[in-house]
A = this chain, B = another copy of it.
Amino acid sequence: MGLDHTSVKPHERLAQVLSGEMEQVNTLIRDRMASEHAPRIPEVTAHLVEAGGKRLRPMLTLASAKMCGYDGPYHVHLAATVEFIHTATLLHDDVVDESAQRRGRPTANLLWDNKSSVLVGDYLFARSFQLMVETGSLRVLDILANASATIAEGEVLQLSAATDLRTDESVYLQIVRGKTAALFSAAMEVGGVIAGVDDALTQALFDYGDALGIAFQIVDDLLDYQGDTKATGKNVGDDFRERKLTLPVIKAIAKADDEERAFWKRTIEKGKQEDGDLEHALDLLNRHGALEATRDDALEWADKAKTALSAIPQSDLRDMLIDLADYVVARIN
């Protein structure tokens, strides 16, 4: 079965090239999500872990380590670590957002309860921590401890900033780094660190993950206003209805006149929404070019991701990661 590189998506090519190691990662995840005493833990975890996510974050770690010439066993531990941290944050996010669906299935907080989601998330976070201790690298522990703090800080910041009209692009970026980019950049960075690359290369790996994560989240936020429901699995305007200030609206508010400001104040800050408000919001986004400006930002971050990787010696894996940056923004381009 030959691979047609023009049609196979970059994350699928990564999955094929890394399939042997991803199998080890999956085995390790299944092994470590077990609990001798509390069967609820593997039940809840399996519901999420086996729901068919793309495993993008652990693949970044594996690709980063291999691309940097690592030939030890611990990139598998770190990839599982990163997936556990991701799964723990999803469990807690669904409690915080009171979500009912994730990856097309009912959320754990709905199938079991909020208690289970909170505590199983804590368990997975502790497990991720045990896995990274096994690598014996204090630098890796430092990176992932910092990423974990950035993630939680970004989520708390979002609680208060999401409905506050004073939230500007710099606050948005902090939130996005927390909810998405911090784990992407840490996933890339630890791959280089266990491979023992120098500081400049480590920085390049971090920068790629950071920019890729930001591009990824901006695309997500843009598609919320102009996506095709069938393709994205989300309804247009979910963020508007949930009163989440994202980049398109932040850009429109920056150009708003008094009447428009009053509209955003009523719908987002006070949450008093009426029929026709979403249509009016979309009209304002178009009027101020907010959707195109958001799209330009996403493309710029994808470019930054690719530029960062130009510091890494050429290899098939590097080229797949470069293609991945293009792919992340292809849905809006």
Contact = CB atoms under 8 A, between A and B. Distances in A.
A115 to B, nearest CB: 4
Contact of A92 (B38, B118, B133): B118
What copy number does this chain have within its complex?
2
A114 interface: yes
Contacts of A46: none
A120 interface: yes
A130 B95 CA distance: 25
A225 interface: no
Interface of A: 35, 37-41, 89, 92, 95-96, 114-116, 118-120, 122-123, 125-127, 129-130, 133, 136, 138, 141-142, 145-146, 148-149, 151-157, 159-160, 171, 174
Contacts of A149: 123, 126-127, 129-130
Given A129-B145, A145-B133, A156 B123 contact: yes
Nearest to A160: B40
A165 to B, nearest CB: 18
Contacts of A127: 149
A126 B145 contact: yes
A174 to B, nearest CB: 5
